Each structure stands twice: as C-alpha cells, then as structure tokens.
A and B are shown apart, each in its own frame.
Chain A
Amino acid sequence: DVKVTQSSRYLVKRTGEKVFLECVQDMDHENMFWYRQDPGLGLRLIYFSYDVKMKEKGDIPEGYSVSREKKERFSLILESASTNQTSMYLCASSSEFMKTGYTDTQYFGPGTRLTVL
C-alpha cells in the first residue's frame, strides 16, 4: 500500500514564525504536491514537484516555498506565518507525470491542521 506521511497532525504557531511542514512517501513516486483546504474554497494547489530539486508554482504560491532534496521528501515552508495561513495542509504523491492522456492516482497524507495565532 502507498503510504504518505506528514510530520504533524496539528500545529499551532505564532504570527511571524517560520514553519516547516514535512511530507514523506514510500512508493518511489516522482510527483509530489502540496494543497491547502479551506471551507467553501475546496482544495487549492500551492506547489508541486515532479523530480528532485524541481518545483512548480500552483494556484496560490504566495507566502510559501518548498524544498525537495530527496525523492521521497517534500517540504512546505511558511517563511513568516500569518493568520490567513491557518488551514488544513494536505500533501499528495503520484507516480506519473504528463504521460499522454493519463495520470496515475494521487495519494494523500493525513493532513496537518495548522493554526497561526
């Protein structure tokens, strides 16, 4: 079974702190994704990566950065946390990238509920 793990289920930080959210997958997947999910707004893509040291901006990258130094690990960084970054953060991984017409399933981690005070 595919397993995607995230470093924390719940996290509380102060405004202005630097926050690291870690995601690890054990299936040798090429692609990894970071989403945030907010009531009424659904899942929104922050950043994704299709290879080590590669990154692409999603729909809402402002205020975030990412790091992918190893294939199995994808980190989301909030350089200076703000209250509007309070959200559920979901990491996902998949094994194909832009193969013509078809893509493999994205598997999600359990999520990190981040509260910024």
Chain B
Amino acid sequence: QKEVEQNSGPLSVPEGAIASLNCTYSDRGSQSFFWYRQYSGKSPELIMSIYSNGDKEDGRFTAQLNKASQYVSLLIRDSQPSDSATYLCAVKGSQGNLIFGKGTKLSVKP
C-alpha cells in the first residue's frame, strides 16, 4: 500500500515566522506532488504542485522536493493568522489518482 506520511501537528508558529511542513512518501516512482490547504469545514484547495527535485517558489510559499530521500516540504514565509489551516500533502498514484497524507494542522498565533 503506497503511503504518504505527515506529522499531524498541531504546528504552532508566531505571526511573521517561517512555518515548515514536511511529508514523506513510500513510492519511489512517484513523479507528481501537491500541497493543498484546507480550512475547517471547507474543501481542499491547491497551493502548489512540484515535479522536479529542488525548490519551487510562489509568493510566500516554497515547495521543496528531494526524490532520493522521498521527501517533500512546504515552507510558508511571513506566516499570517489566515494561514491557519490543515495542509495536505498528495502524491500521484499509479492509476492517476492522488494519495493524500492525513494532513498537518497549522496554527499561526498573532
């Protein structure tokens, strides 16, 4: 069974700090990786996708991928209270579906 692992948290950071969210996956052949944000009671919304080793930046968000270590992370710079949510890591499965981690709950304190 292919797995995606995340720390459940909660991860608590002060406003303005960098939040670091981590994810490991079991399928060494995975090629596509996604970070979704989910507010309480809402559906997941895409933050970033990443396909190649290295960093990918989009505004305050940076995704990092290391396929050799089977590790993907999301950094949120200058964290804001509005970033408080559950962050879901997802990896493409062999049938085209996404395999989701259980999510890390982030709390940004004013």
Contact = CB atoms under 8 A, between A and B. Distances in A.
Interface of A: 31, 33, 40-43, 45, 48, 50, 56, 58, 90, 94, 96-98, 101-103, 105-111
Contact of B31 (A94, A97, A102): A102
B56 interface: no
B45 A108 contact: yes
Contact of B96 (A31, A105, A107, A108): A31
Secondary structure at the A interface, as helix, strand, loop or mixed, is loop
B69 interface: no
Given A40-B102, A109-B43, 5 more contacts: A58-B97, A97-B96, A106-B34, A106-B46, A106-B90
B32 interface: yes
Given A101-B31, A101-B51, A45 B97 contact: yes
